[in-house]
């Protein structure tokens, strides 16, 4: 586990600053506080990660509205789709809209980025699915009611995550991050009702993550969840749903792989910002 608290942030050397947020749920307009929070990242973050539910209904006009804002941000962007985005069936067009705004959409895919200070990061991105966390993490409450279709889709998503992580295994990176919408663990579900756990993620995803060299997992979807936890295997997990965090959360990833969780960035406002956007390849 290599995520450290801000108290230990004085680490010399090269680093990349990531901002992460999920669950924007954009419909007719983008809430002003989200616009401000995202625009504030300009000049502060080197990369923006969006953990799904960019839109409320998965409609192309909603995705265009979101993408217009994202396009204005002068940094690379990585996103996965959430269940609300998946309500729309025009996935290819959705992907194109995002790509035109400089957003790399990861759907069971891996992606590496080398920044011009030499820091190289690996990402595996997937929407994920529900299914539940029993018997590994919680007692079996409702599994008998889970349909075979849910179980099959959960299994399929875990297989796709496995493939994405395997393709990262041969890469030489400073750190590997998993970006997903659903949760890989019950430990970030906070105040979500246990009867809803099966809709919020599954343990198969956590097991896959624990079998690979992963340094940080970012997810959303659990609006009533908590921010900070870990997989059963101890890999740090952060639920960056906007309903939980209020604004993008900031991480500094240092050459060599140490990750410093800066939190919501309020501490950055007190002094000069050391980071500036760097072009990624």
Residues 31-70 that bind Fe ion (CB under 5 A): 53
Q: How far is CA 175 from the centre of its chain?
A: 15
Report which of 276, 272, 250, 190 is spatially closest to residue 5, judged by C-alpha positions.
250
Mark 15-34 with x for binding to Fe ion (rule: CB under 5 A) and - for no binding: --------x-----------
Contact of 124 with 104, CB cutoff 8 Å: no
Residue pair 78/54 in contact (Cβ under 8 Å)? The answer is no
Which of 82/225 has CB closer to Fe ion? 82
Residue among 242, 245, 231 nearest 201 (CA):
231
Exactly one of 221, 238, 247, 254 binds Fe ion (CB under 5 A); that residue is 221
Q: Which of 82, 132, 206, 225 binds Fe ion (CB under 5 A)?
A: 82
Q: Which one among 40, 83, 114, 226 touches Fe ion, defined by CB under 5 A?
A: 83
Instruction: Work out how close the CB of 21 gets to Fe ion at its nearest, in angstroms, rounded to a whole number.
Output: 11
For Fe ion, which is the closer residue by CB, 64 or 84? Answer: 84
Tell me the window of 101-109, 123-131, 193-201, 218-226 that interacts with Fe ion (CB under 5 A).
Answer: 218-226
CB of 246 to Fe ion, least distance (A): 14
Q: Which of residues 132-151 bind Fe ion (CB under 5 A)?
A: none
Judged by beta carbon, residue 16 or residue 242, the one nearer Fe ion is 242
**From the CA atom positions of the chain, what is the Rg in Å?**
18
Q: Write down the residue that tokens 């599954």 correspond to.
A: 202
What span, in angstroms and rounded, lies between the C-alpha atoms of 118 and 29? 38
For residue 237, give Cα distances in angstroms to 178, 206, 218, 268.
9, 10, 6, 22
The verdict on 162 binding Fe ion (CB under 5 A) reads no
Binding site for Fe ion (CB under 5 A): 23, 53, 82-83, 221
């Amino acid at each position: 586990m290599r995520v450290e608290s801000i108290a230990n942030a004085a680490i010399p050397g090269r680093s990349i600053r990531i901002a992460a947020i999920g669950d924007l749920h954009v419909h007719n307009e983008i809430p002003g506080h989200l616009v401000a929070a995202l625009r504030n990242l300009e000049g502060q973050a080197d990369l923006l990660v969006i953990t799904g539910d960019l839109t409320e209904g998965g409609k192309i006009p909603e995705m265009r509205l979101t993408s217009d804002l994202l396009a204005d941000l002068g940094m690379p962007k990585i996103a996965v789709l959430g269940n609300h985005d998946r309500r729309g069936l025009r996935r290819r067009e959705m992907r194109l809209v995002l790509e035109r705004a400089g957003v790399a959409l990861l759907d069971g895919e891996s992606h590496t980025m080398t920044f011009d200070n030499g820091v190289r990061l690996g990402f595996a991105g997937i929407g994920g699915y529900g299914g539940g966390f029993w018997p590994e993490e919680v007692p079996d409450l409702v599994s008998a009611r889970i349909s075979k279709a849910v179980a099959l889709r959960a299994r399929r998503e875990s297989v796709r995550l496995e493939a994405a992580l395997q393709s990262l295994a041969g890469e030489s990176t400073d750190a590997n991050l998993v970006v997903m919408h659903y949760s890989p663990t019950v430990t970030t579900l906070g105040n979500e009702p246990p009867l809803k756990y099966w809709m919020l993620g599954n343990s198969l995803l956590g097991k896959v993550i624990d079998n690979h060299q992963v340094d940080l997992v970012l997810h959303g979807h659990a609006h009533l969840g908590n921010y900070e936890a870990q997989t059963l295997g101890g890999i740090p997990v952060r639920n960056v749903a906007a309903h939980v965090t209020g604004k993008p959360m900031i991480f500094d990833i240092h050459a060599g792989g140490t990750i410093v969780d800066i939190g919501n960035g309020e501490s950055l406002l007190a002094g000069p910002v050391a980071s500036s956007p760097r072009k990624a390849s």
